[in-house]
Amino acid sequence: MTDRTDIPALALEWHNSGRGAVLATVVETWGSAPRPIGSQLVIDRDGAMEGSVSGGCVEGAVITEAMDAVDDGKTRLLTFGVSDDQAFAVGLACGGQIRVLVEPVGGEALSADLLKELVDARAARKQVAYVADLESDDRKLADASAYAERFRSDKSGVEEDGRTFVAIHNPPLRMLIVGAVHIAQPLVQMARACGYDPVLIDPRPVFGSEERFPGEMISDDWPDEAMEALGLDPRTAVVTLTHDPKLDDPAIRAALLSDVFYLGCLGSTRTHAKRVERLVQDGFSAAQIARIHGPVGLNIGAKSPAEIAVSIMAQVTEVLRKA
């Protein structure tokens, strides 16, 4: 079954099953708005829906327009005012205005083939942008190089020309933590709170146990093998915590040969210097080695495992958002 939160995939499934499907997307907001730009809702020809574009305050009107769009195949660009009373009902201080793009799948603008390309790219954890001309039916997909700043900040929106809407589809963030040590215990919790899917990698059963990390995803494969199985991409951060070259070095080598956005390694300055020597002997260049954040984390004077985890999450966030 398709994940009910994967709105593009759900829209494609509904279209292919003959239910009809319309994608509604928030493209602009002014003032307070219940849902951020890029939020989506899928509606079928009978009015069934998943997702949200307004927290409920204008969705009735969107659904009505969407049901008409299933029949005529035409795109709509709708503008709604959100009153103070409506805004308060969904937890906002004051009202505002939103614009919603309504696109029937297989209609004049959004073809089923283009939607499938988008769905496939998302499933493959590729960074992809859906680009829509709001004044015509022109639609296309673009990669991260076309809108680097938008991808880095996860910010969908209308370009300066006032007519090009760019919907950013970033894969979920992941953090691969090598070494199920004491620092990893608060780090996995902080990573999840910051929107990451954490994965612990440690082939030592006494460390990577369910008792020490209840409910966490734990791989007992060797780090480089685990990373090959999981895949490394620009939405992945790698943190090594074992202090043991036999475990850390295979993970570091794999990360340096990939396009992960962050690689941080625990250890003193002296430990890092020895690590660099080994990497130079392995043939890695100075530019590659410079990608390593070592010692890991921002220098905030952290002492306890939780404080070190805070410093790591702060540095990962800084690299992700301010790279």
Q: What is the pLDDT of residues 164-173, one digit of tens each?
A: 999 999 999 9
Do residues 38 and 59 lie in contact, with contact meaning Cβ atoms separated by under 8 Å? no
Q: What is the pLDDT of residue 261?
A: 95
- Backbone φ, ψ for residue 33 (5° rounding): -145, 140
**Domain range list for the chain:** 7-169, 173-322
DSSP assignment of 135-157 = TSS-EEEE-GGGGHHHHHHT--E
- Tens digits of per-residue pLDDT, 3-15? 678 999 999 999 9
Summarised one tens digit per residue, pLDDT across range 39-66 is: 999 999 999 999 988 866 688 889 999 9
What's the pTM value of the predicted model, to 2 decimals? 0.78
The rounded distance, in Å, linking the Cα atoms of 59 and 70 is 16
Residue 45 CA to its chain's centroid (Å):
30
Query: Domain 173-322 has what CATH class?
Result: alpha beta
Reduce the secondary structure of 66-79 to three states and give it as a string: HHHHHHHCCCEEEE
Token readout for 250 is 């295979």
Amino acid at 83: S
Task: Name the pLDDT band for 90 (thresholds 50, 70, 90).
Answer: low
Q: Is 297 left (phi over 0), alpha (psi -120 to 50) or beta?
A: left
